[in-house]
Structure 1
Amino acid sequence: MSERYRSIIDVHVILHRSGEILLLERQGTGYCDGMLHLPSGHLDEGEPLNHGAAREAREEVGVTINPDFLSLAAVVHHRQRSDLARVGMFFVAERWKGEPYNAEPHKCGKLQWADPHLLPSNMIDYPAAGVRAWCDNTAFAHHGWADQG
Structure 2
Amino acid sequence: MPERYRSIIDVHVILPRGDEILLLERQGTGYCDGMLHLPSGHLDEGEPIPHGAAREAREEVGVTIDPADLSLVAVVHHRQNPDLARVGMFFLAEKWSGEPVVAEPDKAGKLVWADPRVLPWNTIPYPAEGIQAWVSGDRFALHGWPTA
Rounded to whole Å, the distance in 2 between the matches of 1:141 and 1:120 is 20
Q: Which amino acid aligns with 1:77?
A: H
Q: Please, what is the CA RMSD of the aligned residues?
A: 0.6
Amino acid at match of 2:62: G
Query: Could you tell me how far 1:46 is from its partner in structure 2?
Result: 0.6
Residue 67 of structure 1 pairs with residue 70 of structure 2: no
Number of equivalent positions: 148
Q: Which residue of 1 aligns with 2:19?
A: 19
2:119 maps to 119
Q: Tell me which amino acid in the other structure corresponds to 1:55.
A: R
The TM-score normalised by the length of structure 2 is 0.99
Residue 120 of structure 1 aligns to a residue whose secondary structure is coil
CA distance in 1, matches of 2:17, 2:49: 23
- Counterpart residue identity of residue 115, structure 2: D
After superposition, residues 1-149 of structure 1 pair within 5 angstroms as 1-147=1-147
Cα distance in 1, alignment partners of residues 29 and 21 from structure 2:
22
List per-residue Cα deviations over 1:54-108 (Å, max 9, x = no partner).
0000000000000000000100000000000000000000200000000000000
List structure 1 segments (4+ residues) > 6 angstroms apart after TM superposition: none
3-state SS of the aligned residue for 2:90? strand
Scaled by the length of structure 1, the TM-score of the pair is 0.98
CA deviation map 1:93-140 (0-9, x unaligned): 020000000000000010000000000000000000000000001111
SS of the residue corresponding to residue 121 of structure 2 reads: coil
Q: CA deviation at 1:21?
A: 0.3
* SS of structure 1 residue aligned to 2:109: strand
Secondary structure of the corresponding residue to residue 22 of structure 1: strand
1:73, 1:51 → 2: CA distance? Answer: 16
